[in-house]
Structure 1
Amino acid sequence: MILEVADIRVKSGLNDSFEKSVQLALDTIFPKAKGFLHHEFRRCIETPDRYLLLLTWATLENHTVDFRESSLYTEWRSLVGDFFAQPPIVEHFLELVDC
């Protein structure tokens, strides 16, 4: 499994609308994506315009190829892209099971 970590900064004052848009995507867009398994969505306490969107995928390619090259990605970006104060920082993490 792969954990996608998206560090998102939103424009000030748009928190409620952004959160509703992300929730809509989590309910309707991501469940349709090949290899999508799980999500967590969190807002920073110290920096209220900062969010972490944690998405679990079966494989890296499920996110980087299957999702990003699909119409679902276009839907996702059209739903939330205008809220971004800057491009999100997106990184992928492996689970280390033998630690």
Structure 2
Amino acid sequence: MITEIAQIDVKPGSEKDFEAAVARAEPIFKRCKGWQRFELHRSIEKPSRYRLHITWDTLENHTIDFRGSENFAEWRALVGPHFASPPEVEHTNTVARF
């Protein structure tokens, strides 16, 4: 398993609409190959900044299967209008759990 972490800055004032759009995207992710779960975290210090944590079976499930699919286009249509700038995305492996 890998975790995709996307830092997303949204347009100030669109936070609630963005959160609602992410919630509406759950069915999109549920039909994606290798998708496990996602969590949306909102910054306390910077309330227009979010971190989306998505767990996938493999890196390719995100970078190839999802990014090259209609599911990705649907996702971006829902959330993209709220972006203040392009998201920063990285992938991690869990190396310790306490």
Q: TM-score, normalised by structure 1?
A: 0.94
Structure 1 residue 43, shift from structure 2 partner: 0.5
Quote the Cα distance in structure 2 between the aligned partners of 1:54 and 1:97: 17
2:81 corresponds in structure 1 to: 82
**Gap regions ≥5 residues in structure 2:** none
1:14 equivalent to 2:14? Answer yes
Identity of aligned residues (%): 51
Quote the Cα distance in structure 2 between the aligned partners of 1:39 and 1:79: 16
Counterparts of 1:1-99 in structure 2, within 5 Å, are: 1-25=1-25, 27-97=26-96
**Gap regions ≥5 residues in structure 1:** none
Q: TM-score, normalised by structure 2?
A: 0.95
Write the letter of the residue equivalent to 1:49: S
How many residues align structurally? 97
Quote the Cα distance in structure 1 between the aligned partners of 2:12 and 2:94: 34
Structure 1 residue 76, shift from structure 2 partner: 0.3
Write the letter of the residue equivalent to 2:59: L
What are the Cα deviations for residues 1-57 of structure 1, in whole angstroms up to 9, with x where unaligned? Answer: 0000000000010011110001111x2111110000011111101100000100000
SS of 1:29's equivalent in the other structure is: helix
